[in-house]
Amino acid sequence: MKRSKGLLAMMIALLLVLSACSGGKNNTAAENTSNTGKTDEDKASSDAGAAKTLSIMWWGPDARHEATKKALEIYSQQNTNVKFKPEFMAWDAFWQKLPTLAASKSVTDVLQMDAAFIQEYVSRGVLEDLSDIDLSGIVDPNVIDNLKIGGKLYGIPLSQNAQGIAYNKEELTKLGIPLPKKDWTYDEFFQWARDAKEKLPDGKYPIGDTTTWDSFNYYQTAMGIDPIMSDGGKKFLLDKELFMKFYKAYEDFRKQKIVPPADKAAAFLENDPNADPMASGVVMTRGATTGSVSALEQLMPGKVGVVNLPTGPAGGGWAQSTIFLSVSTDSKNKDEAKKFVKWFITDKEAGKVLGLTRGLPINPEIYKDLEPALEPKDKLGKEIYNQSLDKALPFYAPAPGFSEWVDMYRKEMEAVTFGQQSIEDAYSKIDKMGKELAAKAGGQ
């Protein structure tokens, strides 16, 4: 009796360990099976002849979901043999789901793609070459040339996008702080922040702190130096002198309370009514893109102004297409999928329904139709684009295989903002890992 009870307990414990440890894997397996089910279904529908089902997946906010579903209905009305199986979700969920789909070779026929990830997925053979789609008269040939990866086009650009800075126009004006001016330089930007601090009450800050790689990359490239990653990740260059100068400036800002303290910054959550750095009234400026500024405008209607990113001798910021529609190499309906992605940026009716839910439509004709009815929140997006265009540098995405480095950069810089490590130490860790990755990618 005594022995058997102990044995039983031991067995239960072992089972617990095993089943608990396998929990996560069960989920993946389940997901995979459900995906396989889907591909079978697709196969069946393409075998049936003219009737086809295109699966399509995108990320975005609700407004984009609703508009896109309406556009799909229009396509089905025009092509009665085509039905859609849409899947839509938020950004995070999308990029968590896509790798598993890619691994099980069940990526949807059509999928939305982002400039930050397209290189990675092209390098892994997930995306179909779309170079043979004729886009003349729809998209500027220069734009297409810029988007080609290894001479081929893997994503149909949907919109124009640009990065800028949004500022709290109302409050700055009230306090008599001059508004930022187009094409301001980094020196002017830093000086503006110092001057603004003197007029701001305690607990309010002119600018936010920075811990992510891209904001330093903007600085490095604006100063006329190569981007941190280039040549598909084979080249890595983190300019030490500029790095020290840039983050030393922010270190001073932290001391002078020009940027919010680190624990306050860590609690910010963009586009959350209470936790957004700007909408909560704590910080006077924050980064915003053509595609995202409307969400901020809705939180503080009529109070937002925009300006392009600070510039250097080489220019600054970017203004180009960053959202695409791609076709999966696993698709059984490639021809229909290609027809659809072209239609998506050509059809006027669809253009009207989609509006600016993915930024300024890439097709000038469609944009012309929309322009008279633009709302203030959409005009801000256009304003960022217009201000950024003439000084714009290319959009620099993380190179394939650098996703971990991107995370590590943020964490090391966070440790700096919390005063737990020196800028120099952060530099040597970030630089070391970057060089290792570049060496692994086949560079020197």
Q: Least distance (Å) from another protein to the CB of residue 201?
A: 16
Q: Considering only 5-13, 238-246, 326-334, 385-393, which stretch makes contact with another protein by CB under 8 A?
A: 5-13
By C-beta, is 18 or 50 nearer to another protein? 18
CA distances (Å), origin 147, targets 55, 130, 396: 25, 12, 12
State in angstroms the smallest separation of the CB of 331 from another protein: 16
Rounded distance, CA 191 to CA 411, Å? 27
Phi/psi for 441 (5° steps) reads: -75, -5
Of 21 and 50, which has the nearer Cβ to another protein?
A: 21
CB 311 within 8 A of CB 185: yes
50 binds another protein (CB under 8 A): no
Q: Scan residues 262-321 and list those touching another protein (CB under 8 A).
A: 262-267, 275
The closest of 363, 443, 359 to 160, measured between CA atoms, is 359
**Residues between 112 and 151 with contacts to another protein, criterion CB under 8 A:** 124-126
Backbone angles phi, psi at 374, to 5 degrees: -65, 140
Nearest distance, CB of residue 262 and another protein, angstroms:
7
- Closest to another protein by CB, 124 vs 348, is 124
Alpha-carbon distance 104 to 12, whole Å? 34
Name every residue whose Cβ is closer than 8 Å to that of residue 23 and which is 6 or more positions away in sequence. Answer: none
Q: How far is the CB of 225 from another protein (least distance, A)?
A: 27
The count of chain residues that interact with another protein, using the rule CB under 8 A, is 46
d(CA 83, CA 80): 8
The window from 50-58, 80-88, 144-152, 401-409 that contacts another protein (CB under 8 A) reads: 401-409
Residues 205 and 197 sit within 8 Å (Cβ to Cβ): yes
Tell me how far, at minimum, the Cβ of 101 lies from another protein, in Å.
10
Output DSSP code: residue 259: S
Task: Enumerate the β-bridge partners of residue 243.
Answer: none
Q: Using CB under 8 A, which of the segments 61-69, 137-145, 250-258, 404-412 binds another protein? A: 404-412
What are the structure tokens assigned to 52, written together? 């086809």
Within 322-351, the residues that bind another protein by CB under 8 A are none
Identify which of residues 110 and 122 has a Cβ nearer to another protein in the complex: 122
Give me the least distance between CB of 17 and another protein, in Å please. 6
One residue of 54, 56, 57, 102 binding another protein per CB under 8 A: 102
Of these, 103, 200, 223, 295, which contacts another protein (CB under 8 A)? Answer: 103
Neighbours of 22 (CB within 10 A): 11
> In one letter, which amino acid is 153?
L
Q: For residue 87, which amino acid is it?
A: E
* Per-residue mark of binding to another protein, 19-48 (x: CB under 8 A): xxxxxxxx-xxx------------------
Closest Cα to residue 323, out of 374, 352, 289, 287? 289
- The two tokens of residue 66 are 């609703």
Pairing mode of beta strands 319-320, 235-236: unpaired
CB of 369 to another protein, least distance (A): 39
Determine the residue type at 34.
S
- Binding another protein by CB under 8 A: which of 42, 276, 347, 414? 414
The site for another protein (CB under 8 A) is made up of 1-3, 5-6, 9-10, 13-14, 16-26, 28-30, 96, 99-100, 102-103, 124-126, 262-267, 275, 403-404, 407, 411, 414-415, 418, 420
